[in-house]
Amino acid sequence: MPAEVVDAATEEANLKFLNSLSFTIHIKIETYTQLPLLNQFVAPGIQPTEISIDRGRVGWWNSEISDMEYLTEEQWNRPALHRKEFVLKNALDEDHNDESKTFTAPNGNFFTVRDMVDIVEAFEREFRVKSDWFGGVDAHHIFYEGFFQYEDGSFGISWGS
């Protein structure tokens, strides 16, 4: 539900900016099952000891300079979604994809880019531990690829490997 009247083009541009971001979620696991493979298989029953996002490494690929550019303070604080609430569904695990969490805009009107990255981290801390990838927690799909929207207006997070 929009908090204020914002034209669709602005909201689309904001979502496009969010989806252009690139970052990795760090999942610290004490025991992997098949090292040294690039695929991170976690033994059943093993839980992450830490799930975090390095805020200094959130940015986007700038093809003009063939390098990453990281967010400035101004970009961190720019409006990302003009909504009072943001509903995120657990898209990572089909057994739990009916689970969701509702976040409220800290300022009551919109979410900043910083708010959205904080939401991703908080959501993953709660729901990643419920994932099941080859019998263990999914510690392999860690590359943020953006948000997608369900028909009911809620969102999911796309993760790549």
What are the domain boundaries of the chain? 8-160
Q: What is the pLDDT of residue 1?
A: 46
CA distances from 74 to 24, 71, 77, 139 (A): 21, 8, 5, 32
- What local confidence, expressed as pLDDT, does residue 131 receive? 84
Q: Which residues pair with 42 in a beta bridge?
A: 32
Contact between residue 22 and residue 61 where contact means Cβ atoms under 8 Å apart: yes
Q: Give yes or no for residue 96 having a pLDDT over 70.
A: no
In Å, the largest CA–CA distance within the chain is 52
What's the number of CA atoms in the CB half-sphere (13 Å) around residue 160? 10
pLDDT at 32: 59
Contact 100, 154 (CB under 8 A): yes
Lowest mean pLDDT among 27-31, 37-41, 73-77, 155-159: 37-41
